Amino acid sequence: MPNSARDIEAFRAFWALDAGASAGPDTLFTSCAEAIRIRHVERFKDPDLFAKLISRVDVGGLARNREVMTRSFPEGRGALTILHRFDLLWLCEYSKQPFASKHPGRDKGKPVSPGVPNTRRCVHARG
């Protein structure tokens, strides 16, 4: 779900409870899904917010996305390059066996059962 849709519930539905966001290894912005939600609720109010997916690389159940995000800054409108790294591991509702999915949400069946933690983790490498 791209940031451009501004649907916070759809956006956060794919995050693990312990997902984090950082500007690199030394600058942690948030360390849980609720903190990410709070941060993005404010971000989604920005009328200049727009995210464009530039590339995606899937390797062995891991994905790396590169996006260009346009948004407002104190100095005016600007753009950032954002790198996302996340797991594509889901639990199959019927067999309870993990499987790697290149297209979460578009696969047949439901990705997770009620009460089973979402196993997808997203980390912003830069932001």
Q: Are 61 and 88 in contact (CB under 8 A)?
A: yes
**Is domain 3-124 given the CATH code 3.40.718.10 in the classification?**
no
Answer yes or no: is pLDDT of 121 > 70: no
Query: Is the pLDDT score of 94 beyond 90?
Result: no
Rounded to whole angstroms, the Cα distance separating 88 from 18 reads 15
Q: What predicted TM-score, i.e. pTM, was given to this entire model?
A: 0.55
Query: pLDDT higher for 2 or 118?
Result: 2
Parse the chain into domains and list their residue ranges: 3-124
Q: What is the mean pLDDT of the chain?
A: 68
Average pLDDT, integer, range 59-64? 79
pLDDT band at 46 (very low <50, low <70, confident <90, very high): very high
